[in-house]
Chains A and B, each alone.
Chain A
Amino acid sequence: MSIWEYANPVKFIRTTDLVLPWVSALAVAALVVGLVWGFFFTPEDYRQGSTVKIIYLHVPAAMMAINAWVMMLVTSLVWIVRRHHVSALAARAAAPIGATFTIIALVTGALWGQPMWGTWWAWDPRLTSFLILFLFYLGYMALWTAIENDDTAADLTSILCLVGSVFALLSRYAVNFWNQGLHQGASLSLDAEENVADVFWYPLLVCIAGFVLLFVALVFLRTQTEIRARRARALLARERQA
């Protein structure tokens, strides 16, 4: 029993078919509980008022936007090293989801920033690096769709993902250097003595769990779709040859 068994598309589809309903149900449950708890059953912040509640969408989305890229990096590496097609397809499946999370983080941040900072947008390091991350997602997805041969596309995009990761990190630090921030520091560090107050903390944790599960469910579903789409294309090609 090793993890590489799931590199077999049939095995992957069979297993994810079993797991998918559970993961989706858990994701929905966690999101409903976390968001309802967060929106209706937490006190208002004494300075930020009710706007503080956007944290339940903003923080998990921002986390997953970065984690989705990391996942793409790992699956791209697996594809380059071990040539498992499911891995490349999973990276392809994750990109639009990650891009969507990036947009959610940017939009919720703008909605919060308008009343709190008095502006929709500031060229703050965190905001700017998220915008750049979004551009990386766009380029990655565009390259996937531009190339017709599946294996070539998988190879090229995975190398782009590797190079892009290095430059995304570089941009992050360059942007830090370029402009001082308006954004508050990290509110969820594991090593910090105290993060946000406990009343906000627990529903936030539930929301984060919900977003992670949602991401996993969507990646499973989209990877299955990609596998089936490729299978359908192969069948059509074979029919045309016969």
Chain B
Amino acid sequence: MIALLTRDLRLAVRAGGGFGLGLAFFLIVTVLVPFGVGPETGLLSKIAPGVLWIGALLACLLSLDRIFALDWEDGSLDLLATAPLPMEGIVSVKALAHWITTGLPLVLAAPLLGVLLSLPADGYLWVLVSLAVGTPALSVIGTFGAALTVGLKRGGLLLSLLVLPLYVPTLIFGAEVARRGAEGLAVQTPLLMLGGISAGAIALLPFASAAVLRINLR
């Protein structure tokens, strides 16, 4: 498992594209929003937590099809499937690798981009915390979507149609934590719900993803 993880990480960093792309996309989205809604500081700081969450979610979505696509094309996915590691393990490692290369940088970049959107001072901590708790769920759910569309020629558009509705609960609770945090309200309830969704998704979805991947590989 660790070998697979280091292989995936090394591929993501060295084999061009992938790694920085999600981060750059996040930056672009955040920069575009003020152009769209106007440079008014009050308005920006009000919508900043939501914009950061939407940006992170889209950046995550953008990099999903890379989880399995390359391995599918060069056949290494078939090799992995015949390896002694159970499919559930492979899927979990893939999701973890996706989170380390996409989710984690997004979490760390979010406070920086918050400066651009004049996020209230109370908000930085909670944007960071909510993204840290929520992005693993995004990666795991996204891995399920990527496994569903792995064999398809033009799966990208279909992938977003399938995955975005699944992202709704995570987005609602995550953005709620960030918003309440920024306004200085109590964040405990949505934060617990967000944690619950993340934990449940991490625990259960790899089974679904593995089943789907087995179907696609047969």
Interface on A for B, CB 8 Å cutoff? 132, 135-136, 138-139, 142-143, 146-147, 152, 155-156, 159-160, 162-164, 167-168, 170-171, 173-175, 177-178
The number of residue pairs between A and B whose CB atoms lie closer than 8 Å in the complex comes to 75
Cα distance, A143 to B158, chains bound together (Å): 7
Q: Is B190 an interface residue (CB 8 A)?
A: yes
Cβ of A138 to closest chain B Cβ, rounded Å: 6
B176, A146: Cβ atoms closer than 8 Å: no
Q: Give 7 nearest A-B pairs by CB, closest first.
A: A174-B169, A170-B169, A174-B172, A135-B165, A139-B162, A155-B215, A171-B168
Cα distance, A174 to B197, chains bound together (Å): 11
Choice from A132, A142, A167, A168 contacting B161 with Cβ under 8 Å: A142
Q: Enumerate B160-187 residues with CB–CB distance to A below 8 Å.
A: 161-162, 164-166, 168-169, 172-173, 176
Q: Is B23 an interface residue (CB 8 A)?
A: no
Interface of B is mostly: helix
Q: Which residues of B contact A142 (CB under 8 A)?
A: 158, 161-162
B144, A177: Cβ atoms closer than 8 Å: no
A143, B211: Cβ atoms closer than 8 Å: no
Q: Which residues of A contact B161 (CB under 8 A)?
A: 135, 138-139, 142
Per-residue A-contact encoding for B144-158, CB less than 8 Å = 1, 0 else: 100011011001001
Q: Is B193 an interface residue (CB 8 A)?
A: yes
**6 residue pairs A–B, Cβ–Cβ below 8 Å:** A135-B164, A146-B155, A171-B165, A171-B169, A174-B172, A177-B193
Residue of B nearest to A149 (CB): B151
Choice from B149, B162, B172, B218 contacting A177 with Cβ under 8 Å: B172
Cβ of B173 to closest chain A Cβ, rounded Å: 6
Q: Enumerate B179-215 residues with CB–CB distance to A below 8 Å.
A: 189-190, 193, 197, 205, 208, 211-212, 215
